Amino acid sequence: MPKSSLQPSPQSPIMVPGLSRRLSLLRNTSTAEDLGDIGIPKDAKFTPLSPKMSPGKSAAYEPSEVSSHSSSESDGRLKKLLRRTSNALRSGSFSSEGSMGNLANSKDAMADVNTKLDELRISQPLDKRSMPVVLLNPGIELLRITHRKKVKRLFRIDMDTNRLLWNNKSSSYLSIDKIRNIRAGDDAKNYREEFKVSSDYKDLWITIIYNNEQTFNNIKALHVIATRKEDFDVFLTVLKNLLYFKVEMNRSFANTFNNEYLATFHWNNNVLPYHPPVQSDINRVSKTGDRLTYEGVVKLTKKLNINVDTDYLGVIFKQVDADHNGYLNFDEFKYFVKLLRQRPEVMALYDGMIRPGELYLSFEAFKNFIVDVQHEDYDESTIKKLYARFSQTGEMSSDDFTDFMISSYTAALRDIEEDFSRPLNEYFVASSHNTYLLGRQIKGSSSVEGYIRALQRGCRCIEIDIWDGETDAGGKCPVVTHGRTFTTSIDFKQVIEAIRKYSFITSPFPVILSLEVRCTYENQVKAFETMVEVLGDTLVTTPLDETSKMLPSPQALKHKFLVKVKKTNKALSNAEFQSSASASTPSSMSEDNSTLIPSKLIPKKTKTTKISSELSSLGVYVVGTKFTNFSLPESKTFNHCFSFSDRTLEKMIKVDEKLAAVLKHNRKYLLRIYPSQFRFSSSNFNPLPFWEVGVQMVATNWQLFDRGQQINEAMFAVGSHSGYILKPRSLRPGLRLTDNRKQKNIVNLSTYDTVKEYTFTIISAQQLPRPKELKSSVLFDPYVELEVYSGKILTCSVNSTLPGGIVSSASMQVGRSDSSSSSSNGEEPSSHLATDQYPCATFTTPSISRNGFNPVWNQKCSFTLMSNAADLTFVRFLVKCKVSSGPNDILIGVYCCKLEYLKRGYRHLSLVDSQGEEFIFSSLFVKFDETII
């Protein structure tokens, strides 16, 4: 049915967590509660900031009028404090050793006033002229907390490099672009408790979560304690402002409507010379007094991640330098920014739709584009609203059309119908293996950040390995770690508290806690008590319906925790528990139950840990069960769950009879797959063959964003990002099999028998970041690879001509065709599964020389693909940089999606880096179409 109203929400800024509330407070005219402690009358009123800045001016927030309740005495005291503080700051009387040096206590208080008022200015982006002076030089004194020491440091902002600095060491910094989250107060409780810091410092503690450039252990944390509440407020608010507006500035290069705003910010921050924001400078307007040379333009573009040929910059520079004097004033700089942001490929699309004799895109042409090209299911009323929304003057200009093409109304992924009313066994569940690890399996860091990151990305099944640990007093306590390896450990209670806090932010649907229990009876009881205490009534301890023999639905289990744990047949005392440990094989067919000897990296059989009756009682709907075969009674219980490594199940599904048994089992019952113990580097398998046989919980290593993890996250990156995807109809119960040979019928459902034709045009990319490993002397020559996963390629073709008739080096390689044949060729159905890591086809564009800012390829590839009833075909776009020396080209960004999710028409695909973090400013512009044959 056509949509009768606008369905997508308007594109809105991405908010740093907690920033919206903070900026709302700063914009509010009623700020008396925050100001009374620094001498400002509680009933003083403030004039809201103008939405625009003027070049050379700070975004000053000044008191407009003091009410009758204020006294001239307090007003005079405030001015006096401000004047004396300004003098103290300009005098530079700070010690370089991390203390405040010669400033007296009264002067400290004056600095508080200055920074407090500066805090009120940041409802607009901070630049060098509006940044609180103390954060530029010498910095704010904070106590840095590490496991080894607690030391005072001066923290300052370097606006030129966009870094937060402390100490004088070259390594003592973090890039503000790499900050992923800032936690304070109760949000940082687990870190504060980890360092045994009193709750008295709760309101002064800040934890900064950021990424480094490493492949493993790339999540880092900086912990600081402010010495005063005023310093805490300034430091926290400024960092959140820089994060928020960095996103907005990067995003604004794609928009056309805010050219003045963007140009003004960069002019203030990069062109105007820095002066302390005293009154004479604040009132100074400098649109023509300062200038930008060509060399300055080249330097600025590099800083802004504009990786483009300098010759191209020179052409634009000469075009806007109206006086031919070799430099740009502010008005010329605005024009320069406008030209730089133009999208010639979008302009060509726009020009192709304009009728002869018309200057603007008519409504009829726009409607035809929406319906016939984009294939959107909008009625005419909705299309009229879209046209009116993006036509600033009543007629759609090229700039208006460009803004529409990058808006949320042209999102790449379709809206799917989501049904959460079916039993749990009928869903694919986003699942994680060894969730606590940040790096490799043998030697790496364990952190609650692993759980937080996975949950925030939509993971719904997380693993907790419980081992025996020791308290500071020498007592026993449960900890979470990868036992008998060199990995670190985490307190079990901290893990459960973090899980409780972050589980239902991204999705309201149930979280499954998969327990691997390796601890003593006492610690098992402690773990049970901790879970009951922390999780409370969100923990499922009894069946929702005692009479039902079916698993409940995700809808029925919203905001609930399920525990996957082995069952104990009887209640054991502590003594009986200790004597009952068996030397038999592990209690499930799980390689995870083997122990790795790090020096030899080989598995070793260990005794099975018996589960206490208390912990066992939590296994209500997901009972870990030892696998013997699929015919025994325990294989028919509605709440059992088998666990296999990827290698074990991969071997099983190569045998036709076992494949049929796996397919039949997974229709009604749960199964979990995890990476083999031999994946020491935390690499991931291809999840597709396991989804194709109906495995619900395909657990991957979320700490490594490799090919397997990219496909895994792409499966769930649609709709509400619930972490639950209803399985295809062919993999769920209820399908009637009338043939007497049911086994063959079940297996044949996995064969490839549906043919579709797909066409991709890889048009362009926007604002590609220059790889750090690319030497400055090496040219930045990007190209794109398109990989297709699962299915058999029947035919393919490539448009090998670039615009202008130039023959390109585009190519398409077809792989896996020999192992993906149709059952009509007499091959075993099991050979149709995507059991390897490699794509069935790869298309490669030519490289574009020296242009990472706006490279245009306009390369088309078409292919016909045979798929099965599950239709689990994925595509992966890899943007790479050509390197003449070395074995491999450099990966810049990735986009992966299920082909069924991708909308037809022209779409912008948001790229992510090698760690799975989205580039706010980098995208790939493509056209996609499909035909069922």
Q: Which residues are designated catalytic?
A: 433, 482
328 burial level (CB within 10 Å; 0-12, 13-18, 19+): buried
Instruction: Name the nearest CA neighbour of 919 among 771, 774, 817, 810.
Output: 771
Nearest to 351 by CA among 384, 396, 319: 396
Main-chain dihedrals φ then ψ at residue 184, nearest 5 degrees: -145, 165
Helix 492-502 / helix 521-535 crossing angle, nearest 10 deg: 30
Token couple for 120: 């009120």
> What residues contact residue 882 under an 8 Å CB cut-off, 6+ apart?
779, 781, 782, 783, 847, 889
Q: Write phi, then psi, for 768 (nearest 5 degrees).
A: -75, 135
Helix and strand counts by DSSP (H, E) for the chain: 26, 36
- Please enumerate in sequence order all residues whose Cβ is within 8 A of that of 771, keeping only pairs 6 or more positions apart, or say none: 881, 890, 891, 892
DSSP letter for 370, please: I
Cβ-contact 700, 687 below 8 angstroms: yes
Helix, strand, or coil (residue 20): helix
Paired sense of beta strands 697-700 and 427-432, if any = parallel
d(CA 927, CA 905) in angstroms, rounded, equals 5
Q: Single out the residue of 432, 338, 378, 394 nearest to residue 701, CA to CA.
A: 432
Tokens 């209820």: give the residue. Answer: 734
CA gap 294, 166 in Å, rounded: 33
Gap between the Cα atoms of 697 and 700, Å rounded = 9
CA distances (Å), origin 404, targets 248, 369, 520, 762, 876: 17, 12, 61, 19, 25
Beta strand extents in 652-712 (DSSP E only): 670-674, 697-700
Sign of CA dihedral 432, 178, 236, 204: positive
Tokens of 922: 């980098």
Asked whether 438 and 481 are in contact (CB, 8 A), the reply is no
Query: Beta-carbon neighbour count of residue 697 at 10 Å?
Result: 26
Whether residue 916 contacts residue 456, with contact meaning beta carbons closer than 8 Å, is answered with no
Residue type, 84: R
For residue 241, what are the contacts with CB-CB under 8 A and spacing of at least 6?
A: 19, 23, 122, 125, 126
Please list the residues that pair with 758 across neighbouring strands: 863, 930
Angle at 593 between CA 589 and CA 598, to 5 degrees: 135
The rounded distance, in Å, linking the Cα atoms of 543 and 525 is: 21
Output 658-661 pairs: Cβ under 8 A, ≥24 positions apart. Answer: 659/693, 659/747, 659/750, 659/829, 659/830, 660/743, 660/744, 660/746, 660/747, 661/630
In contact, 725 and 424? CB cutoff 8 Å:
no
- Taking the C-alpha atoms of residue 35 and residue 482, their distance in angstroms, rounded to an integer, is 50
Instruction: Give the number of C-alpha atoms closer than 13 A to the C-alpha of residue 847, restricted to the C-beta side.
Output: 14
Among 858, 862, 792, smallest CA distance to 825 is for 792
> What is the gyration radius of the CA atoms in the chain, in angstroms?
31
Separation of alpha carbons 876 and 872, rounded Å: 13
Q: Are 85 and 107 in contact (CB under 8 A)?
A: yes
